[in-house]
Amino acid sequence: MLKVAVLGGSGYTGCELLRLLLAHPEVQVTAITSERSAGMYVSDVFHSIRNTDLKFEAMDVKKLAKKADLFFLCLPHKASQETVAFLYNSGKKVIDLSADFRLKSAMVYHEWYNTKHMFAPLLKKAVYGLPELNRNKIRKADIVANPGCYPTSAILALAPIVGSAMADSSSIIIDSKSGTSGAGRGPAQPFMFCEVNDSVKAYSVTVHRHTPEIEQELGTLAKKDVKLIFTPHLIPMDRGILTTAYIRLKKKTNISALRKIYDDFYADEPFVRVMKDGVYPSTKGVRGSNHCDLSIFLDSRADKGQMLIIVSAIDNLLKGSSGQAVHNMNIMYGFQENSGLTLAPHFP
């Protein structure tokens, strides 16, 4: 059994991660930390989890390093840097669910997160943990940077086409809508019930921190720098992300040819489902699962060439976070990729 620990486990992602790991046939959870809940049983903090006698403990990295071989970090952005570095130097493997190791440039990280990266050399060793793109690198990785939820939905929508000669990578527009769990479990006025109920609003327009992450990965696929427009929205539901991505085509084509590109690209992927023509992905269609549902549409009426429109749906706490982290673990350790993740979406 692989011994794993969850650091910073009292939030929504920590809860989902623990739920998945406790049911995983190849894993033993040996520790879980929380500063505010230290000393409390997990079942007293998360009433939905009753199949463990684990207690939350305070963060003592030197002590914790002796308890596990793989560490999942659910710490806030800026807080993971030192812990990742210590565990890596102690010969441990890490899957970091924060943004601290997703960006390859320390300068870009400083620009968007307003803090210096103290361990810039480790950025080159970290692998961006989107299995559909980086499976072979993940297998050999010691540090996996688990992608953000918005980037997961956006990158999967555009990955098959952005590197194609027919795509204009300078024309990308991404519109995403997320449930409130994406903001975390901490109390904050913008996410209180009376603030979000019966309301939809855009936020962080042109300045959302996931923008450079999306640009970095799409730029790698396009083999050139990519600048795009990304606008996130908050919607009044617990979980889920619906993304609509737009990219202009330089060569005239048809929906059948585009469908073949998408079908071929994701043919062997266990968690990406390309929907039939005319079927619209929905957050409820993937809720509680590690799936990403995609549909493509072609607008041929545009004045400056055809526009490809891709709609994607994910559960932000699973495919956009904890489920993807478990998928990365399965790849790193040679487990079946869907091990612990054979979750059908729950409907309604």
Catalytic residues: 149
Query: Do 34 and 60 meet the contact criterion of CB atoms below 8 Å apart?
Result: no
Q: Residue 138 is inside which H or E element, if any?
A: helix 131-139
Residue 348 CA to residue 345 CA, distance in Å, equals: 9
Diameter over CA atoms, the chain: 63
User: What CA–CA distances, in Å, run from 338 to 5, 182, 325, 347?
Assistant: 20, 24, 12, 21
Please choose, from the candidates 67, 72, 89, the residue with its C-alpha nearest in 3D space to the C-alpha of residue 7.
72
Alpha carbon of residue 247 to chain centroid? 22
Angle, CA 228 vertex, CA 225 and CA 232 arms, to 5°: 140
Three-state DSSP state, 94: strand
Q: b/e map of 23-32 (b: 16 or more CB within 10 Å)?
A: ebebbebbbb
Query: Sign of dihedral through CA atoms 287, 331, 12, 155?
Result: negative
Find tokens 């993971």 and name the residue. Answer: 80
CB-facing half-sphere around the CA of 294: CA atoms within 13 A: 28
User: What does the H/E/C string look like for 157-201?
Assistant: HHHHHHCCCCEEEEEEEEEEEECHHHHCCCCCHHHCHHHHCCCCE
Residue listed under structure tokens 């060439």: 305
